[in-house]
Amino acid sequence: MTTALRRLRNYIDGEFRDAADGRTTEVVNPATGEPYATAPLSGSTDVDAAMAAAEAAFPAWRDLIPAERQKVLLKIADRFEERAEELIAAESENCGKPIALVRSEEIPPMVDQIRFFAGAARMLEGRSAGEYMDGFTSIIRREPVGVCAQVAPWNYPMMMAVWKFAPALAAGNTVVIKPSDTTPASTVLIADIIGSVLDELGHPRGVFNVICGDRETGRLMVEHKVPAMASITGSVRAGMQVAESASKDLKRVHLELGGKAPVVVFEDTDIAKAVEDIATAGYFNAGQDCTAATRVLVQESIHDEFVAALAKAASETKTGAIDDEDVLYGPLNNANQLKQVKGFIERLPAHAKIEAGGEQVGDKGYFFAPTVVSGLKQDDEIVQHEVFGPVITVQSFVDEKQAVEWANGVEYALASSVWTKDHARAMRMSKVLDFGCVWINTHIPLVAEMPHGGFKKSGYGKDLSAYGFDDYTRIKHVMTSLNG
């Protein structure tokens, strides 16, 4: 007996629709490896319809006073809380994430972030008006950019959707967002929530649209003539493709791409506390986080003690079913990602040593054991490239100079952390580490008020904070004569 698959649909101009040509893809629960739904495989007709809806809705949404847009976002945040259990269920099935962790670690910050941007809607700051030429007054206007084409990733489908639509809507833009083809369920539910709020408050339905599909669908969105801005959270390869496609008509591009965060542990660190926090920050969400604490550099005098403690912590970390409250993380998101993580382990050089884990867990789904690999060199593949799995690598450094050289010696530059009791050293390191975020004696906390974004191949533009809000605006100079 087969179970009928749930049917997910696009959300365009306030209506749920199948793809125009009827094409679909199967959506797989990564905890079981079995399909549970189908989603539209959208093509050019669907993208055209979504962009037309967003374009038509833009003037009215743009012209709302900020207080009215704030009301909409605050009601969306309230509705997220009211329908939290639906969102949790959708995201757990989407990603195989433990239910308890989605409830405690994702819903509260998402609601907070929406409310933050609701406030930011009323903070359209610019330099004061003034006379910079005799007889003329200059004024700065800050305006929305227009329709935004947004592509969200599969590691945090709900939260990354919030990071994209909340600042865009707050600034007065309209949105067409595409979730990953492996995780569309929670974004479709978000469309239902936002659509109901827009209807209740009498705003155009096309303000927020969701298109399901694959990489080709995303390309069609980015290359479409309507959007003024393209925003993606994803791999470096995907970001480069988006930047290239957007360059054809000089669209604005906002890229949050990969990471390879160095975790620099000096010999004066409280080893037990550092290991506890680093293990959590490295294995949370199965290491599928561009800021994950998965590249550890440890001063040689404490290396062996640290590695032993970290291996023990890994052996005590649990992965498993979504309803097990003792589980720290669930499965990898999809079969391809499991294959990628396995490949890194299989290709380890002879000088590397697996201290813990290193293998798939269970006979169904895409679970992988908490893993620690030591004995690595700076140019090893697993040190230089993003694994995006529950694998923590450890290198041994001699002094501060070498720590900085190795920490900065990758193509990514998103996040980093320094572990030391020496305040002066912490300040020196925070200055020279070439990363968009430097945590000191912690790793991975984020707040709505502070920016998240990197340098180099980690992309450009900021999420969260007033800086993230600014990215969705444009600056206009208005000059008027004082002589009639």
Could you tell me if 295 and 414 are in contact, meaning their C-beta atoms sit under 8 angstroms apart? no
Q: Residue 408, CB half-sphere, CA atoms under 13 Å: how many?
A: 15
Instruction: Retrieve residue 177's tokens.
Output: 């967002």
Nearest to 49 by CA among 221, 251, 245, 230: 221
For 350-452, strand residue ranges (E) read: 353-356, 360-361, 367-368, 371-374, 391-397, 412-413, 415-419, 437-440
Could you tell me if 57 and 207 are in contact, meaning their C-beta atoms sit under 8 angstroms apart? yes
Contact residues for 1 (Cβ-Cβ < 8 A; gap 6+): none
What is the C-alpha to C-alpha distance for residues 159 and 179, in angstroms, rounded to an integer? 11
Contact residues for 444 (Cβ-Cβ < 8 A; gap 6+): 281, 284, 289, 291, 292, 293, 415
CA 7, distance to chain mean position in Å, is: 26
Instruction: Retrieve residue 188's tokens.
Output: 């479709």
Nearest to 55 by CA among 178, 149, 191, 167: 149
Only one residue has tokens 């900085």, namely: 404
Bridge partners of 105, per DSSP, are: none
212 catalytic, yes or no?
A: no
Could you tell me if 367 and 403 are in contact, meaning their C-beta atoms sit under 8 angstroms apart? no
Nearest to 195 by CA among 186, 182, 204: 204
Could you tell me if 67 and 119 are in contact, meaning their C-beta atoms sit under 8 angstroms apart? no
Catalytic residue among 91, 93, 256, 386: 256
End-to-end CA gap in the chain: 82
Catalytic residue among 223, 290, 355, 437: 290
What is the C-alpha to C-alpha distance for residues 392 and 1, in angstroms, rounded to an integer? 42
What is the C-alpha to C-alpha distance for residues 73 and 51, in angstroms, rounded to an integer? 22
Per DSSP bridges, beta strands 24-29 and 34-40 are: antiparallel
82 catalytic, yes or no?
A: no
Give the DSSP letter of residue 405. H
Which of the residues are catalytic? 256, 290
